[in-house]
Structure 1
């Protein structure tokens, strides 16, 4: 081992506290990078393998009723590799002990062969036999939520008729990775299920003998799905086609794609913030070390060490800290990724999960961390090259102390001696104090931003279920009905208020932008379900116009006054040109709203509704649910409280759960920055503080000189950290938001207070640790010049 390497080890041991704190900052940045890259790779690879293994379709084509012979024409289309026709529908499940019916989707199984497309994974039991029309497969998540097993029976209402069916197996499928009831965005296994049943049974239940109402298509590699979709729509249009759509627009696939995109964006944006902070801290440490070791640098050069060898010694110090932090971060990132991957087995219904580490993430982690650390030290190393032996071994020129200002002089007249020493250092070295305050402010900004995200998730729930949706129950009909149905709903004992609604599937276009969504028809003076702007004021629905949620307006790149093209996918399928008359604040989904009568007029179907919102007397709610369950026209009943609970659960998983990890990381970063500021101040003044002890200062007075400076710098950093945190919260909120849900950047005064308390607590703990070292200082060794 060379003398310089032995000196390197001594230096690392001497600054072990600072090195550990800086390494921790680097480690958490690398942890997030490796963990998120691993999650992205694992989810993406598992999704690809699952889709491929169970032959998920590339194009879905719902239709009202199409004859079986049309499948041959669809299979003859260019680029189409395989075609499967099936029957799907909505059903209600009546479970003992529940007053409200549970919603389900029923899917047909081919009579004499396994599905060519959209297969299923059998997790328990067996598949239904072709000659037994009362046997079904049940979605595993729903079965587990209600403790159902193969051999149990279910009472199911399909198309108004009641059936008793027997469960013979539990299944999972790639098209139901994320299951949501119609009209909802949040998955809830306890409230929505999927049932596979023989095609013969479904054909009889929905009057579709010899026909199908959904076609599944697989297309060849390299084929363009828009061309196939256009050809499919042309063939199905005479039979009531609702418009084919690609896998990218499939609800389940959209959710997992958005989750992967969110993780990828966070992995690209957040770790560099932590690594930049680490580079800043390393710069300060190395800068102070080079300043303190000018004489040693001069001696090294005088004894024949070149500029490159001397600079390499300090560069090795930087690399040792950065590489150590990166190594720890990689190990912790793998462990955290393996722990979180189990969470995604609950979040998405994979029957298996392939955990894969991206080798590129390790290379990127080391490259970025070492690069960031090197960037912080290169500027300092230039000073090493410029120092000549003669100049380096001369004492440093005394700093130029400006005369104190009037304010500082007036303060010194009323302060004791230790306090005056603190004030003089702050006023005569403002650059160093500003750098320390900036570092602490950066740590507080991270805490403020993460507290803002926590508040944003809560605000999303509050806005959705307390401001926008003020109903208790929402119902959906099997098909659009006359608005005279409202009178029947109002006559139910316990129903206080009823608001009609109509939901229509449509493609919204603006220039080259396109979105497959739903237009919701609402009354002008809606009270139970409202449209509000960013100030929570009602957004009026005009007879000739459409109101878009803010997220949808961003997707389509439209503003108030722009014209939208609406391609309606139901009824007569008209194409409409409608101006945008308002932008609504909605944090879940990307809805569009029109005035109900205007929507019905555009569709050529006046006085029609497809659902309603109800406010119910809590004393009669169970009886209301029982009446709704017995109404043949009702396809589904949804309780707002159940939806709220599902949303809260959802936001505590997946990307939502990531906010807790980020909060913990922000706390580590904050402590690391404050502790480094304290350690650097102590390292700079260790000799001065020892001198104070020798001339008669007590331990408390010497500690006050050091910690008083830290306290004032910390207090000065608090307002700056609050401002930086306010703007950083917008960037972090944008990383968490997707097209399916938006998280607002909301920092309330209590959030700033909590972040400030976290910084003060970190400063207090850091001060205690530094004071402990100060009390243990050997005065003789501290006053000696180091060799």
Structure 2
């Protein structure tokens, strides 16, 4: 080893605490980069492979009833590669011990061949026997929750008739990666099932012999999706077509894609913040090291070492820390990614999910770490090259404090000698103090943003299920019924209040922007499910237009006063021109609201309702659920508390779980920044502190001088960190908001208080660690000149 390499090892050992802290900061940035890249690659590749292997359709065309021979005509549409027709209908499952009927989706399978499109993965048991019409396959997630397995019996209501089936297998399918009860946004294995049956048996149950109610298509590479959808809609219009759509608008695929998109956005924004902080810390450490070793640099140059060799020595110091942190981050990123991949597999129902990191991610992590560290090092190395041996070997010129702000006579009378030393140190070196304040405030801002994000999720729960949705039960019907059904619900014993609604499937257009969703028809002054503004105040549902959720208005780039084109996808399929009269704050989904009478009038279907919101007496709930289960017109029953529990589970164990990882990392970053500031200050002032000890100050007084400066810097960082945290919270809330839920950028005083306590706690621990070094300071060694 060369003498400079020996010096490098000694320097690293001397500042090992700071070096480890900076390496950890770098490692956390690389961890996030590698982990998120691995998750993105794993989800993307697994989805693509799963879709290809089980021939997932690219176009879905629901229809009321169409004859099978129409499939031949669909296959002739230019750009269509393959076509399959199937039956897809709603059902209710009756489970012993569960009062509320469980909603299910019944899907047909060809009797004598595998499905041409939308095949399924058999997780347990066997496939259907065409000779036994009572056999079914059941969605694996639902079966596990309720303890069902092949060989068990299952009772279900289909088209008003109760039937008993034999479960022969458990299955998963690419179209049910994200499985939710119809009309809801939150996946819940306990409340939604999928039943696969033979085509002949299911056609008999729903009177669809020789017909289908959904066409599945795959396209050629040169196909133009809009043209295919347009021709398909025209062909199915006379058979009650409900509007064909591409895989991007498929409910399950949309949310999986949104998750991948959110991870990609986070991977571009979060790691650079951590690496930027690390570069800033490296710059401070190296620049102060160069200043303290200027005599050594002069001696090295005097003994024949060139500026390049000396500069390379300090660059090696930077690289040793950066590369160590990057390699540690790569290892931790793989471990964290593997842990989270199992969460995503359970959440999105992939039959397989292998965590795979693109080798480029490792190279990127190391390269970005080196680049971030080099940016800070370049400015320092300029000083090394600029120092000549004669200049470097001379002690630096004493700082000119003649123009600095002095301490007034009043403060001199109030402050004792150690306190005046602390204040003078801050006043005379404002740049160094400002750098420390900015570093600590950046750490606090990260903590504020993460804690605010976690509070935002809780806020969504409280607001959506306490202010917006205030019903106890939501009842949906098989098809729109006359509003006299509402009176039948009101007559039930234990029902306190009933509020009808009308749901209509529609495509919303504004210029070049479209959104496939639906319209909710509400009473003028809803009480149980309300449209609210950004202040959570109820909005009157006017009869002269439509109210859009803010997230939907942003997607469509439309404002109140403009006209929205509504292409209804059911009934007579009218195309409506509706003025936008308001924007509502929606925390879940992207709903639209119209007055129910106005909506029915536009559809030319007077006095129709799709369901009702109920407020009930909890003591009579079992009786009410039993009556609803026996009503053939009821398609499903949803309980508010179950929906709330499903949402909370999603946030705690699904996609929202990553916020806990980020919050923990933010806490570690904050401690690392504060600890570094304390260590750097101690390293710079160890000789001054030793001198004070020699002239008679006690260990307590010298410790006060050092820790007093750290305390003032920390207190100055709190308001700046709060301000930065406010703006960072808004950016993070936008990044975490998806089509599934919207996280409001809210001011949560508790998050600032907790973040401030975290900074103060980190300062106290760092101060205690540094105070031990002050007490153990070797006065003789500290006062010796290093040369």
Provide the TM-score with structure 1 as the length reference.
Answer: 0.99
1:700 aligns with 2:700: yes
Residue 566 (str. 1) matches residue 566 (str. 2)? yes
In the TM superposition, 1:670-685 aligns within 5 A as 670-685=670-685
Aligned to 1:185, what secondary structure does the other structure show?
Answer: coil
Deviations 1:566-604 (A, max 9, x none): 111010111111111111011111111111111111111
Match of 1:258 in 2: 258
Alignment of 1:645-656 (within 5 A): 645-656=645-656
Would you say 1:307 and 2:307 are equivalent positions?
yes
For 1:692 and 1:86, the matched residues in 2 are separated by 87
Query: What is the correspondence of 1:558-597 to structure 2 with a 5 Å cutoff?
Result: 558-597=558-597
Classify the secondary structure of the residue corresponding to 1:413: helix
**1: CA distance, partners of 2:746 / 2:691:** 50
1:480 aligned residue: 480
Could you tell me how far apart the structure 1 residues matched to 2:712 and 2:13 are? 29
CA distance in 1, matches of 2:65, 2:164: 26
Q: Pairwise mapping of residues 752-767 of structure 1 onto structure 2 (< 5 A)?
A: 752-767=752-767
| Mapped contact 2:344–2:655 kept (Cα < 8 A) | no
Distance 1:252 1:469 in 2: 24
**Larger CA deviation: 294-303 vs 483-492:** 294-303
Residue number in structure 2 paired with 1:460:
460
Q: 1:23 to 1:740 in 2, by over 3 A?
A: same
Q: Residues 494 and 624 of structure 1 are in contact (CA less than 8 Å); yes or no, is this contact kept in structure 2? A: yes
Distance 1:101 1:408, change over 3 A: farther
Would you say the 8 A contact 1:521–1:593 is kept in 2?
Answer: yes
Residue 111 of structure 2 aligns to a residue whose secondary structure is: coil
Equivalent residue number for residue 34 of structure 1: 34
How many angstroms apart in 2 are the aligned matches of 1:405 and 1:625? 77
Q: Is the 8 A contact 2:62 2:244 kept in 1?
A: yes
Which position in structure 2 is the counterpart of 1:544?
Answer: 544
| Residues 402 and 428, structure 1, Cα contact 8 Å, conserved in 2 | no
Structure 1 segments (4+ residues) deviating >6 Å: none
Aligned partners of 1:118, 1:215: CA distance in 2, in Å?
A: 11
In structure 1, what is the Cα distance between the partners aligned to 2:519 and 2:104? 23
Q: CA deviation at 1:404?
A: 6.8
Matched, 1:517 2:517: yes
Please list the CA deviations of residues 58-112 of structure 1 after superposition, one character each: whole Å capped at 9, or x if unmatched.
1000000000100111112212111111111111101011111100000011121
- Partners of 1:642 and 1:456 lie apart in 2 by 20
In the aligned structure 2, how far is the partner of 1:363 from the partner of 1:428? 43
1:276-675 matched pairs, under 5 angstroms: 276-402=276-402, 405=405, 408-675=408-675
Alignment check: 8 A CA contact 1:35 1:336 kept: yes
1:745 Cα shift? 2.1
The separation in 2 between residues aligned to 1:200 and 1:423, in whole angstroms, is 88
**Number of paired residues?**
787
Contact 1:263 1:655 in 2 (8 A): no
Return the offset for 1:26. Answer: 0.5
CA distance in 2, matches of 1:148, 1:198: 20
Shift of 1:406: 7.0
Counterpart Cα distance in 2 of 1:506 and 1:753: 46
Q: 1:224 offset after TM fit, Å?
A: 2.1
- Cα pair 2:120 2:173 within 8 Å, conserved: yes
Deviations 1:472-505 (A, max 9, x none): 0001100000011110000000000000001111
| 1:784 shift after superposition | 1.0
Instruction: Give runs of aligned pairs for residues 152-167 of structure 1, distance below 5 A.
Output: 152-167=152-167
**Runs of 5+ in structure 1 lacking a partner?**
none
Residue 739 (1) aligns with residue 739 (2):
yes
The answer to whether the 8 Å contact 1:451/1:747 transfers is: no
Q: Is the 8 A contact 1:655 1:736 kept in 2?
A: no
Task: Tell whether the 8 Å contact from 1:509 to 1:564 is kept in structure 2 after alignment.
Answer: yes
Cα distance, 1:395 vs structure 2 = 1.0
In the superposition, the TM-score normalised over structure 2's length comes to 0.99
**Alpha-carbon deviation of 1:541?**
1.7
Moved more, 301-310 or 130-139: 301-310
Is the 8 Å Cα contact of residues 444 and 756 (structure 2) preserved in structure 1?
Answer: yes
Number of the residue aligned with 2:710: 710
Superposition deviation, residue 403 in structure 1: 6.3
CA offsets 1:164-222 (integer angstroms, 9 cap, x no match): 11111100000011101111000000000000011112211111111000000111224
Contact 2:255/2:739 (<8 A) preserved? no
Structure 2 residue aligned with 1:248: 248
Q: Please give the alpha-carbon distance, in whole angstroms, between the structure 2 residues aligned to 1:207 and 1:382.
A: 83
Deviation at 1:405, TM superposition (A): 5.0
Cα offset for 1:538? 1.6
- Determine if contact 2:297/2:392 at 8 Å carries over to the other structure: yes
Partner SS state of residue 414, structure 2? coil
The runs of 5 or more residues in structure 2 that have no matched partner are none
